[in-house]
Amino acid sequence: MIIRPRSDLRNAQRIISSIVKSDAAKLIISGMGSGKTGATLDGLYDMLSRFEVHHVLVIAPRFVAANTWPDEIEAWQHTRALSYAVAVGEPEERLAAIRARKEITTLNFENLPWLAQSIRSVDNWYWDCVVIDESSRMKSGEGRTKPTKVKTVNKAGEIVTKVRKGGNMTRFGIMTTARRKIDRVIELTGTPAPKGLIDLWGQAYLLDQGQRLGRDKGEFENRWFDKDKYTHTVEPKPGAEEEILARLHDVLVTIPQEKVADDAKFIPMKVRLPEQAMRDYREFEKTLYSEPHDVEAVSNGVLANKLLQFANGHMYREDRTVVHIHDAKMEALDELIESAQGENLLVFYGFKFDKDAIRKRYPHAVVANESNDFVTDWNKNRIRLGLAHPASIGHGTNLQYGGHLAAWYGLTFSLELWLQANKRLPRPGQTEQVLIYPIIAEGTYDERAITILNDRNATQDRIIRNFTLRT
């Protein structure tokens, strides 16, 4: 890891850091890849050093809480001095993290109800500063869950509809309860209103407890929106947008986009396989036979390919049938798609079963080599989720006009495929920073593949530099 000096902070990051330090409640709008995590940490570092705040709780998507924030803390010379704990893994790990009372604790959104149960009383809440990363996830503004109908199959094979009782406190409800114990709230997002103005109330309430848009969501909706009683669609009333934004002018700020780098920025998404799957993986790697899944590797060469399959979540048996093993990478992709908030995403897959699994999960996904107009449709923003095998979308394919986000669902050992695929988005005409997310299963052949690709690329770069014409 390259340790960066504080002087490396860009101008936009310094602006964010200044806002974090100067405002007790702020929604900072800054896009993916803009460096807002490092910028926020810079501001937190100063406040923690001056004892203006004592304990910071960062609430973020699972991957971001488990990896991005810790990695960013370790990446800067000055923030490395901060103590932190990650409350994301198993219950005992989470409990140890919150009991450690570190300067910064990271927690994923899904574990907010667990946190509330663990501390038992709001009086035990000790975080005086809260950062909500991807604050649009608080947009619902509902304090408690509502009753929902759930269809199940009984022992006789009949479909039965049951009503699941509501009334449980939601993530938003937990935060409204804790809000009186919190001195500073920093909200970060690139998409504050993915479904329109209606999304702003919940985020605004956690900033000001209802001062600007009202203390009740129903009143907010009745005042500024018209609701169709038949279709339940909600539309802003005339003038609503101007009034709402005027009321929020002092708590919302958009950070201007800086000139982007020409090269892609790689952001590894590390995922952990379920414990049983990891034990099965190690046994398979050692014996070349996976008894639980009835898969055999006839040689070490075949084993390497099978282990990449295992890391992705499926494997081929000898008869080419597919066995499902885990969903760790699919859950990471779910999180990435949600964080993209409607921005186009290009996903590189390694095996046919990867493509099939993703398309089953996301039926709107478009596969590059199954569409005659993929390049045109992508560049005209007609494709939200594109799937491509790296061998099918290499040399010369221009995709820079349709998006700036890509992910590797399944890795490759081929340096050529790796480099060519990674060059589809960062090309002349691209206007945003290209972000590429390799999804890497920890402790598996994924890690070896990344190491091999980096080593091969370094060797190639040395050859290229050595033979560059001197002018």
Q: What is the rounded average pLDDT for all residues in the chain?
A: 90
469, pLDDT greater than 60: no
Q: What was the pLDDT predicted at 401?
A: 92
Tens of pLDDT, residue by residue over 3-23, are 999 999 999 999 999 999 999
151, pLDDT greater than 70: no
Cα gap 408→439, rounded to integer Å: 6
Q: What was the pLDDT predicted at 153?
A: 61
Quickly list H helices, 326-438: 328-340, 352-361, 374-379, 415-422
Cα gap 35→317, rounded to integer Å: 44
Which has the minimum average pLDDT: 44-53, 63-72, 90-99, 451-460? 451-460
Tokens of 350: 């390694």
Cα gap 23→252, rounded to integer Å: 11
172, pLDDT greater than 80: yes
Tokens of 371: 């569409």
Tens of pLDDT, residue by residue over 62-108, are 888 988 899 899 999 999 999 999 999 899 999 999 999 999 999 99
Cα gap 222→245, rounded to integer Å: 17
277, pLDDT greater than 80: yes
Q: What was the pLDDT predicted at 162?
A: 67
Tokens of 311: 């890391």
Cα gap 350→389, rounded to integer Å: 6
Cα gap 115→29, rounded to integer Å: 27
332, pLDDT greater than 90: yes
C-alpha distances out from residue 395 to 392, 430, 461, Å: 9, 17, 19
Helix (H) or strand (E) holding 269, with range, is strand 269-271
What residues contact 382, with CB distance under 8 A and at least 6 apart? none
Tens of pLDDT, residue by residue over 232-276, are 788 899 999 999 999 999 999 999 877 656 789 899 999 999 999
- Kindly state the DSSP code that residue 65 receives in the 8-state scheme: I
Tens of pLDDT, residue by residue over 99-145, are 999 999 999 999 999 999 999 999 999 999 999 999 988 988 887 77
Q: What's the pTM?
A: 0.76
Contact present, 66 and 88 (Cβ < 8 Å): yes
End-to-end CA distance of the chain: 34
Tens of pLDDT, residue by residue over 308-327, are 999 999 999 999 999 999 99
Amino acid identity at 256: P
